[in-house]
Chains A and B, each alone.
Chain A
Amino acid sequence: MRLEPGEISRNQATYLLCVAVLGTAITTAPHSMIAVAKQDAWLLGLVSGVYSLVPSFLWLTATAPWPRKDLFEVTLAAAGPLLGTAINLLLLGWLLSLVSVVTWQGAAILIDNFLPSTPWPVVVGSLLLPAALAVRGGLEVTARLAQLVFWGLVTTIGALGLLLVFEFDVDRLQPVLARGFTPIAGGALTLGWIFESMMLVAVLPFVARRDRSWRLIPALAGIIALAVSTVAFLVVGVFGPALPTRFRFVTLQLTHVIRIGEIIERIDAPLAIVWVTGIVTKVAFWYWLSCLGAARVFGLSNYRPIVRPMGLLVGAMTLAWFRNESEAAEGIRAWSILMLPTIGVAVPLLLLAGRTVRRALGRSSS
Protein backbone atom coordinates (compact mmCIF):
# COMPACT_ATOMS: atom_id res chain seq x y z
CA MET A 1 0.00 0.00 0.00
CA ARG A 2 1.25 3.45 -0.97
CA LEU A 3 1.69 5.70 2.06
CA GLU A 4 2.42 8.91 0.14
CA PRO A 5 -0.28 9.72 -2.45
CA GLY A 6 1.54 12.77 -3.89
CA GLU A 7 3.70 12.85 -7.01
CA ILE A 8 6.43 15.29 -7.99
CA SER A 9 8.39 16.04 -11.17
CA ARG A 10 12.03 15.11 -11.79
CA ASN A 11 13.10 18.74 -11.47
CA GLN A 12 11.29 19.05 -8.16
CA ALA A 13 13.04 15.89 -6.90
CA THR A 14 16.41 17.43 -7.80
CA TYR A 15 15.54 20.75 -6.15
CA LEU A 16 14.24 18.93 -3.07
CA LEU A 17 17.44 16.93 -2.57
CA CYS A 18 19.60 19.99 -3.29
CA VAL A 19 17.80 21.91 -0.55
CA ALA A 20 17.83 18.80 1.69
CA VAL A 21 21.63 19.06 1.57
CA LEU A 22 22.36 22.76 1.04
CA GLY A 23 19.77 23.98 3.57
CA THR A 24 22.40 23.83 6.33
CA ALA A 25 25.55 22.88 4.36
CA ILE A 26 25.77 26.34 2.81
CA THR A 27 26.41 27.79 6.28
CA THR A 28 28.01 24.88 8.17
CA ALA A 29 30.18 23.10 5.55
CA PRO A 30 32.82 25.83 4.85
CA HIS A 31 34.03 25.76 8.49
CA SER A 32 34.77 22.01 8.51
CA MET A 33 36.05 22.04 4.90
CA ILE A 34 38.56 24.82 5.62
CA ALA A 35 39.59 23.18 8.93
CA VAL A 36 40.55 20.03 6.96
CA ALA A 37 41.90 21.38 3.66
CA LYS A 38 42.83 25.04 4.43
CA GLN A 39 43.03 27.04 1.16
CA ASP A 40 42.16 23.91 -0.87
CA ALA A 41 38.68 23.68 0.71
CA TRP A 42 37.00 24.37 -2.63
CA LEU A 43 38.73 21.27 -4.06
CA LEU A 44 37.40 19.24 -1.12
CA GLY A 45 33.87 20.15 -2.20
CA LEU A 46 34.46 18.88 -5.73
CA VAL A 47 36.08 15.63 -4.52
CA SER A 48 33.19 14.97 -2.13
CA GLY A 49 30.87 15.36 -5.15
CA VAL A 50 32.67 12.47 -6.85
CA TYR A 51 32.55 10.38 -3.65
CA SER A 52 28.81 10.96 -3.28
CA LEU A 53 28.22 9.09 -6.55
CA VAL A 54 29.26 5.77 -4.96
CA PRO A 55 26.53 5.44 -2.27
CA SER A 56 23.97 7.04 -4.61
CA PHE A 57 24.52 4.50 -7.41
CA LEU A 58 24.73 1.62 -4.89
CA TRP A 59 21.32 2.60 -3.50
CA LEU A 60 19.88 3.10 -7.00
CA THR A 61 21.07 -0.37 -8.06
CA ALA A 62 19.69 -1.95 -4.87
CA THR A 63 16.25 -0.35 -5.30
CA ALA A 64 15.97 -0.50 -9.13
CA PRO A 65 13.78 -3.66 -9.42
CA TRP A 66 11.00 -1.97 -7.38
CA PRO A 67 10.57 1.48 -9.00
CA ARG A 68 7.18 2.25 -7.42
CA LYS A 69 7.85 0.95 -3.90
CA ASP A 70 9.12 3.31 -1.23
CA LEU A 71 12.50 2.75 0.38
CA PHE A 72 11.12 0.84 3.36
CA GLU A 73 9.00 -1.47 1.20
CA VAL A 74 12.05 -2.19 -0.95
CA THR A 75 14.09 -3.37 2.05
CA LEU A 76 11.28 -5.79 2.99
CA ALA A 77 11.00 -7.04 -0.61
CA ALA A 78 14.77 -7.41 -1.09
CA ALA A 79 15.87 -8.76 2.26
CA GLY A 80 12.75 -10.55 3.50
CA PRO A 81 10.54 -9.69 6.49
CA LEU A 82 13.08 -10.40 9.27
CA LEU A 83 16.24 -8.80 7.86
CA GLY A 84 14.13 -6.17 6.09
CA THR A 85 12.54 -5.04 9.36
CA ALA A 86 15.99 -4.92 11.02
CA ILE A 87 17.30 -2.75 8.15
CA ASN A 88 14.20 -0.54 8.36
CA LEU A 89 14.81 -0.02 12.08
CA LEU A 90 18.44 0.89 11.33
CA LEU A 91 17.32 3.30 8.59
CA LEU A 92 14.72 4.84 10.89
CA GLY A 93 17.35 5.32 13.62
CA TRP A 94 19.64 6.98 11.08
CA LEU A 95 16.87 9.23 9.75
CA LEU A 96 15.82 10.27 13.26
CA SER A 97 19.43 11.07 14.13
CA LEU A 98 19.81 12.97 10.84
CA VAL A 99 16.66 15.06 11.28
CA SER A 100 17.61 15.89 14.88
CA VAL A 101 21.21 16.82 13.93
CA VAL A 102 19.86 19.01 11.11
CA THR A 103 17.40 20.66 13.52
CA TRP A 104 20.22 21.17 16.01
CA GLN A 105 22.38 22.81 13.32
CA GLY A 106 19.49 25.02 12.23
CA ALA A 107 18.81 26.07 15.82
CA ALA A 108 22.53 26.72 16.41
CA ILE A 109 22.69 28.97 13.32
CA LEU A 110 19.69 30.97 14.55
CA ILE A 111 20.84 31.22 18.18
CA ASP A 112 24.46 32.09 17.36
CA ASN A 113 23.62 34.79 14.82
CA PHE A 114 20.17 36.18 15.47
CA LEU A 115 18.56 34.95 18.71
CA PRO A 116 21.30 34.73 21.37
CA SER A 117 18.98 34.97 24.38
CA THR A 118 16.15 32.72 23.14
CA PRO A 119 16.01 29.31 24.92
CA TRP A 120 16.93 26.26 22.81
CA PRO A 121 13.55 24.47 23.20
CA VAL A 122 11.76 27.55 21.79
CA VAL A 123 14.02 27.76 18.71
CA VAL A 124 13.88 23.99 18.13
CA GLY A 125 10.07 24.08 18.44
CA SER A 126 9.79 27.02 16.04
CA LEU A 127 11.78 25.10 13.42
CA LEU A 128 9.84 21.87 13.89
CA LEU A 129 6.36 23.41 13.89
CA PRO A 130 6.36 24.79 10.29
CA ALA A 131 8.23 21.66 9.18
CA ALA A 132 5.47 19.50 10.74
CA LEU A 133 2.82 21.49 8.86
CA ALA A 134 4.68 20.90 5.57
CA VAL A 135 5.06 17.18 6.35
CA ARG A 136 1.34 16.84 7.06
CA GLY A 137 0.68 18.48 3.70
CA GLY A 138 2.62 15.68 2.01
CA LEU A 139 5.67 15.45 -0.24
CA GLU A 140 4.22 17.83 -2.83
CA VAL A 141 4.12 20.71 -0.32
CA THR A 142 7.76 20.21 0.71
CA ALA A 143 8.79 19.84 -2.96
CA ARG A 144 7.06 23.13 -3.89
CA LEU A 145 8.79 24.83 -0.97
CA ALA A 146 12.13 23.40 -2.11
CA GLN A 147 11.51 24.64 -5.66
CA LEU A 148 11.20 28.18 -4.29
CA VAL A 149 14.11 27.91 -1.86
CA PHE A 150 16.49 26.34 -4.40
CA TRP A 151 16.49 29.42 -6.63
CA GLY A 152 16.75 31.60 -3.53
CA LEU A 153 19.90 29.73 -2.50
CA VAL A 154 21.38 29.96 -6.01
CA THR A 155 20.61 33.69 -6.14
CA THR A 156 22.19 34.33 -2.72
CA ILE A 157 25.39 32.48 -3.68
CA GLY A 158 25.52 34.40 -6.97
CA ALA A 159 24.84 37.71 -5.20
CA LEU A 160 27.59 37.01 -2.65
CA GLY A 161 30.02 36.28 -5.50
CA LEU A 162 29.18 39.55 -7.23
CA LEU A 163 29.12 41.77 -4.14
CA LEU A 164 32.37 40.36 -2.73
CA VAL A 165 34.34 40.94 -5.91
CA PHE A 166 36.26 43.90 -4.39
CA GLU A 167 37.11 42.00 -1.18
CA PHE A 168 38.25 38.86 -3.00
CA ASP A 169 42.00 38.14 -3.30
CA VAL A 170 43.17 35.15 -5.35
CA ASP A 171 46.50 35.12 -3.47
CA ARG A 172 44.65 33.85 -0.38
CA LEU A 173 43.89 30.64 -2.29
CA GLN A 174 47.61 29.99 -2.91
CA PRO A 175 49.51 27.69 -2.81
CA VAL A 176 47.19 25.08 -4.34
CA LEU A 177 47.72 21.52 -3.05
CA ALA A 178 50.55 22.63 -0.74
CA ARG A 179 50.14 19.51 1.43
CA GLY A 180 49.40 17.19 -1.48
CA PHE A 181 46.13 15.48 -2.38
CA THR A 182 45.95 13.07 0.61
CA PRO A 183 44.29 15.45 3.15
CA ILE A 184 41.65 16.32 0.54
CA ALA A 185 40.98 12.71 -0.44
CA GLY A 186 40.61 11.70 3.25
CA GLY A 187 38.84 14.85 4.43
CA ALA A 188 36.14 14.66 1.77
CA LEU A 189 34.93 11.39 3.31
CA THR A 190 33.98 13.17 6.55
CA LEU A 191 31.55 15.58 4.85
CA GLY A 192 28.04 14.60 5.85
CA TRP A 193 26.36 15.53 2.56
CA ILE A 194 27.93 12.55 0.77
CA PHE A 195 25.32 10.24 2.29
CA GLU A 196 22.52 12.80 2.42
CA SER A 197 22.33 13.11 -1.38
CA MET A 198 21.99 9.32 -1.80
CA MET A 199 18.47 9.60 -0.41
CA LEU A 200 17.33 10.67 -3.86
CA VAL A 201 16.28 7.02 -4.11
CA ALA A 202 13.72 7.66 -1.35
CA VAL A 203 12.04 10.30 -3.54
CA LEU A 204 12.25 8.53 -6.92
CA PRO A 205 9.18 6.28 -6.32
CA PHE A 206 7.10 9.47 -6.09
CA VAL A 207 8.47 11.01 -9.30
CA ALA A 208 5.83 11.05 -12.03
CA ARG A 209 8.17 10.05 -14.91
CA ARG A 210 10.97 7.80 -13.68
CA ASP A 211 12.63 6.94 -17.01
CA ARG A 212 16.39 7.57 -17.07
CA SER A 213 16.23 8.79 -13.50
CA TRP A 214 19.86 7.70 -12.94
CA ARG A 215 20.81 10.94 -14.71
CA LEU A 216 19.56 12.88 -11.69
CA ILE A 217 22.37 11.45 -9.53
CA PRO A 218 25.36 13.08 -11.31
CA ALA A 219 23.27 16.25 -11.83
CA LEU A 220 22.51 16.43 -8.11
CA ALA A 221 26.12 15.69 -7.10
CA GLY A 222 27.36 18.34 -9.55
CA ILE A 223 24.99 21.07 -8.33
CA ILE A 224 25.73 20.42 -4.64
CA ALA A 225 29.50 20.10 -5.14
CA LEU A 226 29.56 23.30 -7.17
CA ALA A 227 27.50 25.22 -4.60
CA VAL A 228 29.55 24.03 -1.60
CA SER A 229 32.85 24.62 -3.45
CA THR A 230 31.80 28.12 -4.55
CA VAL A 231 30.95 29.12 -0.99
CA ALA A 232 34.26 27.70 0.32
CA PHE A 233 36.09 29.47 -2.54
CA LEU A 234 34.50 32.81 -1.61
CA VAL A 235 35.16 32.36 2.12
CA VAL A 236 38.88 31.57 1.61
CA GLY A 237 39.23 34.28 -1.05
CA VAL A 238 37.84 36.88 1.38
CA PHE A 239 39.10 35.74 4.81
CA GLY A 240 42.07 33.48 3.96
CA PRO A 241 42.45 29.94 5.35
CA ALA A 242 43.13 30.79 9.05
CA LEU A 243 40.28 33.07 10.16
CA PRO A 244 37.28 30.93 9.01
CA THR A 245 38.19 28.11 11.44
CA ARG A 246 37.28 30.48 14.33
CA PHE A 247 33.72 30.98 13.09
CA ARG A 248 31.32 28.03 12.94
CA PHE A 249 28.97 29.74 10.49
CA VAL A 250 31.52 31.66 8.50
CA THR A 251 29.28 32.15 5.42
CA LEU A 252 27.18 34.58 7.45
CA GLN A 253 30.35 36.54 8.28
CA LEU A 254 30.79 37.14 4.54
CA THR A 255 27.72 39.36 4.56
CA HIS A 256 29.33 41.63 7.17
CA VAL A 257 32.23 42.64 4.91
CA ILE A 258 30.02 43.71 2.00
CA ARG A 259 30.16 47.48 1.78
CA ILE A 260 29.56 49.00 -1.65
CA GLY A 261 29.43 52.80 -1.54
CA GLU A 262 27.03 53.67 1.25
CA ILE A 263 24.15 51.94 -0.44
CA ILE A 264 24.66 48.19 -0.06
CA GLU A 265 25.67 47.25 3.50
CA ARG A 266 24.71 44.58 6.04
CA ILE A 267 22.74 42.42 3.63
CA ASP A 268 22.44 39.58 6.18
CA ALA A 269 18.69 40.11 6.66
CA PRO A 270 17.53 39.14 3.11
CA LEU A 271 20.06 36.28 3.02
CA ALA A 272 18.89 35.06 6.43
CA ILE A 273 15.29 34.91 5.18
CA VAL A 274 16.30 32.58 2.33
CA TRP A 275 18.66 30.49 4.46
CA VAL A 276 16.22 30.04 7.36
CA THR A 277 13.51 28.95 4.89
CA GLY A 278 16.10 26.53 3.49
CA ILE A 279 16.74 25.11 6.96
CA VAL A 280 12.99 24.61 7.56
CA THR A 281 12.65 22.89 4.14
CA LYS A 282 15.62 20.65 4.89
CA VAL A 283 14.17 19.72 8.29
CA ALA A 284 10.77 19.08 6.62
CA PHE A 285 12.23 16.67 4.06
CA TRP A 286 14.11 14.51 6.58
CA TYR A 287 11.16 14.73 8.99
CA TRP A 288 8.83 13.47 6.18
CA LEU A 289 11.15 10.57 5.42
CA SER A 290 11.37 9.66 9.15
CA CYS A 291 7.57 9.68 9.41
CA LEU A 292 7.30 7.46 6.32
CA GLY A 293 9.83 5.04 7.85
CA ALA A 294 8.10 5.01 11.24
CA ALA A 295 4.74 4.37 9.56
CA ARG A 296 6.23 1.36 7.71
CA VAL A 297 7.86 0.02 10.88
CA PHE A 298 4.54 0.25 12.74
CA GLY A 299 2.66 -1.17 9.73
CA LEU A 300 0.34 1.84 9.39
CA SER A 301 -1.83 2.76 6.41
CA ASN A 302 -1.24 6.53 6.80
CA TYR A 303 1.74 8.43 8.19
CA ARG A 304 -0.07 11.68 8.96
CA PRO A 305 -1.35 10.83 12.49
CA ILE A 306 2.22 10.23 13.68
CA VAL A 307 3.65 13.51 12.32
CA ARG A 308 3.07 15.49 15.53
CA PRO A 309 4.19 12.74 17.96
CA MET A 310 7.33 12.33 15.82
CA GLY A 311 7.90 16.08 16.23
CA LEU A 312 8.05 15.64 20.00
CA LEU A 313 10.50 12.74 19.64
CA VAL A 314 12.68 14.69 17.18
CA GLY A 315 12.58 17.73 19.48
CA ALA A 316 13.72 15.62 22.46
CA MET A 317 16.46 14.00 20.37
CA THR A 318 17.63 17.41 19.12
CA LEU A 319 18.04 18.70 22.68
CA ALA A 320 19.75 15.45 23.76
CA TRP A 321 22.33 15.33 20.97
CA PHE A 322 25.06 17.54 22.40
CA ARG A 323 25.72 18.76 25.96
CA ASN A 324 27.47 21.87 24.71
CA GLU A 325 28.52 23.48 21.45
CA SER A 326 32.16 22.37 21.67
CA GLU A 327 30.96 18.74 21.66
CA ALA A 328 28.99 19.32 18.46
CA ALA A 329 31.79 19.60 15.87
CA GLU A 330 33.51 16.37 16.99
CA GLY A 331 30.15 14.63 17.49
CA ILE A 332 28.87 15.41 13.98
CA ARG A 333 32.21 14.26 12.50
CA ALA A 334 32.10 10.96 14.43
CA TRP A 335 28.50 10.43 13.37
CA SER A 336 29.36 11.07 9.69
CA ILE A 337 32.30 8.63 9.87
CA LEU A 338 30.02 5.94 11.34
CA MET A 339 27.17 6.47 8.88
CA LEU A 340 29.01 6.46 5.53
CA PRO A 341 30.27 2.83 5.71
CA THR A 342 27.05 1.53 7.31
CA ILE A 343 24.10 3.32 5.68
CA GLY A 344 25.99 4.48 2.59
CA VAL A 345 27.70 1.23 1.62
CA ALA A 346 26.89 -1.79 3.85
CA VAL A 347 23.08 -1.49 3.77
CA PRO A 348 22.67 -1.25 -0.05
CA LEU A 349 25.21 -4.08 -0.46
CA LEU A 350 23.20 -6.13 2.06
CA LEU A 351 20.03 -5.46 0.05
CA LEU A 352 21.74 -6.54 -3.17
CA ALA A 353 23.03 -9.71 -1.47
CA GLY A 354 19.60 -10.40 0.05
CA ARG A 355 17.94 -10.02 -3.35
CA THR A 356 20.42 -12.41 -4.97
CA VAL A 357 19.97 -15.03 -2.24
CA ARG A 358 16.18 -14.76 -2.28
CA ARG A 359 16.13 -15.00 -6.09
CA ALA A 360 18.34 -18.13 -5.89
CA LEU A 361 15.93 -19.63 -3.34
CA GLY A 362 12.96 -18.69 -5.54
CA ARG A 363 11.41 -16.31 -2.98
CA SER A 364 11.70 -13.13 -4.98
CA SER A 365 8.86 -10.65 -4.43
CA SER A 366 8.59 -7.94 -7.05
Chain B
Amino acid sequence: MRVIGVVLLAVALGALEVPGLIRERQWRQIGAVTTILVIGAVWAGLLAIRVPLPSISQVLQWIVGPLSRV
Protein backbone atom coordinates (compact mmCIF):
# COMPACT_ATOMS: atom_id res chain seq x y z
CA MET B 1 0.00 0.00 0.00
CA ARG B 2 2.84 2.36 0.86
CA VAL B 3 4.44 1.84 -2.56
CA ILE B 4 1.11 2.54 -4.26
CA GLY B 5 0.89 5.71 -2.16
CA VAL B 6 4.36 6.74 -3.40
CA VAL B 7 3.26 6.13 -7.01
CA LEU B 8 0.10 8.22 -6.55
CA LEU B 9 2.16 11.01 -4.96
CA ALA B 10 4.59 10.94 -7.91
CA VAL B 11 1.68 11.11 -10.38
CA ALA B 12 0.21 14.06 -8.46
CA LEU B 13 3.62 15.81 -8.52
CA GLY B 14 3.92 15.18 -12.25
CA ALA B 15 0.46 16.59 -12.90
CA LEU B 16 1.12 19.86 -11.03
CA GLU B 17 1.83 21.70 -14.28
CA VAL B 18 -1.42 20.67 -15.97
CA PRO B 19 -3.82 23.36 -14.60
CA GLY B 20 -1.41 26.13 -15.71
CA LEU B 21 -1.08 24.55 -19.14
CA ILE B 22 -4.88 24.32 -19.47
CA ARG B 23 -5.20 28.04 -18.61
CA GLU B 24 -2.59 28.84 -21.30
CA ARG B 25 -4.31 26.45 -23.78
CA GLN B 26 -1.04 24.62 -24.40
CA TRP B 27 -2.77 21.52 -25.78
CA ARG B 28 0.35 19.91 -27.22
CA GLN B 29 2.16 20.28 -23.87
CA ILE B 30 -0.86 18.82 -22.05
CA GLY B 31 -0.88 15.86 -24.47
CA ALA B 32 2.84 15.22 -23.88
CA VAL B 33 2.54 15.52 -20.09
CA THR B 34 -0.49 13.21 -20.01
CA THR B 35 1.11 10.58 -22.29
CA ILE B 36 4.34 10.43 -20.27
CA LEU B 37 2.43 10.43 -16.97
CA VAL B 38 0.11 7.62 -18.07
CA ILE B 39 3.01 5.42 -19.28
CA GLY B 40 5.01 6.13 -16.11
CA ALA B 41 2.04 5.64 -13.78
CA VAL B 42 0.91 2.36 -15.39
CA TRP B 43 4.45 0.98 -15.31
CA ALA B 44 5.08 2.12 -11.72
CA GLY B 45 1.62 0.84 -10.72
CA LEU B 46 2.30 -2.62 -12.17
CA LEU B 47 5.60 -2.72 -10.29
CA ALA B 48 3.89 -1.53 -7.10
CA ILE B 49 1.30 -4.34 -7.18
CA ARG B 50 4.11 -6.80 -8.01
CA VAL B 51 2.89 -7.99 -11.42
CA PRO B 52 5.61 -10.48 -12.54
CA LEU B 53 6.90 -8.47 -15.52
CA PRO B 54 10.27 -9.42 -17.03
CA SER B 55 12.98 -6.91 -16.14
CA ILE B 56 14.37 -4.62 -18.87
CA SER B 57 17.73 -6.35 -18.41
CA GLN B 58 16.09 -9.75 -19.05
CA VAL B 59 14.49 -8.46 -22.27
CA LEU B 60 17.89 -7.10 -23.32
CA GLN B 61 19.49 -10.48 -22.65
CA TRP B 62 16.89 -12.11 -24.93
CA ILE B 63 18.02 -9.71 -27.69
CA VAL B 64 21.78 -9.74 -27.06
CA GLY B 65 21.98 -13.49 -26.21
CA PRO B 66 21.25 -14.78 -29.75
CA LEU B 67 23.35 -11.95 -31.25
CA SER B 68 26.40 -12.88 -29.17
CA ARG B 69 26.11 -16.54 -30.30
CA VAL B 70 26.17 -15.55 -34.00
Contact = CB atoms under 8 A, between A and B. Distances in A.
A and B are partners in one complex rather than unrelated chains:
yes
Interface string B17-28: 100010000101
Interface stretch (A38-46, A144-152, A203-211, A308-316): A308-316
Nearest to A297: B32
B57 A312 contact: no
A294 B56 contact: no
Contact of A321 (B31, B55, B67): B55
Contacts of A3: none
Interface in A312-330: 312-313, 315-317, 319-323, 327-328, 330
Contact of A298 (B32, B43, B63): B32
Interface of B: 3, 6, 10-11, 13-17, 21, 26, 28-29, 31-33, 35-37, 39-41, 43-44, 47, 53, 55-58, 60-61, 63-64, 67-68
Interface string A63-107: 000000000000000000000000000000000010010000000
Contact of B14 (A299, A308, A323, A331): A308
A320 B64 contact: no
* Most-contacted residue by chain B among A298, A299, A330 (CB, 10 A): A298
A327 B57 contact: yes
Interface residues of A, number: 38
A306 B17 CA distance: 9
A300 B32 contact: yes
26 contacts: A97-B56, A125-B10, A298-B35, A300-B32, A301-B29, A308-B17, A309-B15, A309-B32, A309-B33, A309-B36, A310-B40, A312-B10, A312-B14, A312-B37, A312-B44, A315-B10, A315-B44, A316-B44, A320-B47, A321-B57, A323-B55, A327-B57, A327-B58, A331-B60, A334-B61, A334-B64
